[in-house]
Structures are given as structure tokens and as C-alpha cells.
Amino acid sequence: MAHAVHALVLGLSGLVRACDLTRFVLFFFPVQPDRPDELLRVQNAGGRVIYWDGPRVLGVLAMSRAIGDNYLKPYVISEPEVTVTDRSEEDECLILASDGLWDVVSNDTACGVVRMCLKAQKLPSPPGSPGRDVAADGSDKACSDASILLTKLALARHSSDNVSVVVVDLRRDQRQQQS
């Protein structure tokens, strides 16, 4: 059975990335107003991208696709980009995160943190972590721990944006069979 990752992207930058044994995969390019195709779309709709503390539609919004912001339509649209990417047997995990993580944490570092947590599934959660008392199998707990660690890392590196992180173990079935 073929496996694929389906990504629906609306507004967030750097939402879906996957790690495998030797590399990371970026499933889409950030939806920012200065991306050439988005810039052209905004301009064709009669809008402008103004550089005010970064590229912004009409100098206001730092993304060109979003839910809400009706006053910026038709320049900002809510139509998502949809991406389907075939998975390989080597894919280890999927990291879904907002740009608050990716602005301050490299792909390699994020994959390294997740890989470390998946290999050390039996370790307890850090004290004071959300979900510490929730019963879950080792893979779920490792993914939760990786999400928490990546969030704390982004905050420690003074991310200036919202930080949301979800980690999915793409080899969960293989790991459970090995235990």
C-alpha cells in the first residue's frame, strides 16, 4: 500500500516537514506575500506588497493566505494550497509546526530532537510538562515529549512568533513490532 503525506497549507509558514534517516523533507514553500507566485497573484488582484517590518499585503498582513481578514480580500485569500507527497520506507517522523519554531530552529536540529525522543521512548517527560500524567504508549509519549522540547527550545531562542508543534511517528508500527 502506498503512503503519502497530505498537507493543507493556509497562512502558516513552514508547516509540514518530515525527517528520515538521512535528510529532512520540506513539503511546501512558505505562503508569504513576497513569494513570486503569491506576489503576482496579489498584484493581479490589484493589491500591493509593502515592505514594513517584512513583506506585508498592503503593508498590513505578513501572509497572503488566511482565514478572516475580510478587509484585505481579494488580495488575501482563504484558498489553501494542497500538497500530496509520496512517503518512503525511510521516513521517520512528521513535524507540523508554525513558523515560530522554524524561524529559530533548523531542520536538522528539529529532526535531531525528535529522533532522540523516539529512540529514548522510555524516558519520563520533563517535570511540569503538559500531558505528563496522561497514559500513552511509548511512541505517543515520545512524540509529545519531542513537541514539548521543540516548543521550549523555540521559546528559549526567543521566537517572536506563536509556537505550535505536533510530532507524528511515521514508523510507529515498525517500532511497536520491534519491542
CB 32 within 8 A of CB 13: yes
Q: What residues does each domain of the chain span? A: 89-123+136-177
Residue range 58-105, pLDDT digits in tens: 999 988 988 888 899 999 998 877 777 777 777 788 888 887 888 899
User: Structure pTM?
Assistant: 0.69
Kindly indicate the confidence band of residue 15, based on its pLDDT and cuts at 50, 70 and 90. very low
In the chain, which ranges are E strands?
Answer: 4-9, 16-20, 24-26, 49-51, 55-57, 81-86, 91-97, 165-169
Residue among 5, 16, 153 nearest 98 (CA): 16
3-state helix, strand, coil in the chain (%, to 5): 30, 25, 45
Higher per-residue pLDDT: 140 or 11 = 140
**106-159 pLDDT tens trace:** 888 988 899 899 888 654 555 666 555 544 567 789 999 999 999 999 999 999
Rg of the chain over CA atoms, in angstroms? 18
Residue-level pLDDT at 12: 44
